[in-house]
Amino acid sequence: MRDRIGRFRVPDALIEGCPEALLSFFGQVVVVACEHDWSTSTFVYTALSWRFHPLPTVHPIPVYVPLFRREDDGTVRFLGFEGEALNNVETPS
């Protein structure tokens, strides 16, 4: 899975206000680095995930955008990553 690496940002407000959505989300990535960007109030993660596209050995790490949706009952749910075929994603066995 080392060739499936990517970067993404998670806003502080999502971490503070929607921990249940993040449980599902972080269950699908292995964080290898994290830093906080005070200028944008976001955490910047570098992670491995079966959901990221495989990369050749010499390639810049791509940036992914996680997608969340607030349901009618107020809960927030992780949907996937922008640009991903959300309906065709299979979980690894």
Q: Is residue 10 part of a domain?
A: yes
Half-sphere exposure of 35 (CA within 13 A, CB side): 5
Q: Is residue 72 part of a domain?
A: yes
Q: What is the pLDDT along the chain (93 residues), one digit of tens a residue?
A: 788 999 999 999 988 888 888 888 899 999 999 999 999 999 999 999 999 988 887 677 888 889 999 899 988 888 888 866 444 444 443
Q: How far is CA 79 from the centre of its chain?
A: 10
Confidence at residue 43, expressed as pLDDT on a 0 to 100 scale: 95
Closest CA to 14 of 68, 63, 51: 68
Q: What is the tally of structural domains in the chain?
A: 1
Confidence at residue 10, expressed as pLDDT on a 0 to 100 scale: 93
- Give me the amino acid identity at 19: P
Q: Is residue 93 part of a domain?
A: no
Confidence at residue 45, expressed as pLDDT on a 0 to 100 scale: 95
How many CB atoms lie under 10 A from the CB of residue 26? Answer: 16
Q: Is residue 51 part of a domain?
A: yes
Q: Is residue 11 part of a domain?
A: yes
Residue span of the structural domain in which 40 resides: 5-88
Confidence at residue 29, expressed as pLDDT on a 0 to 100 scale: 94
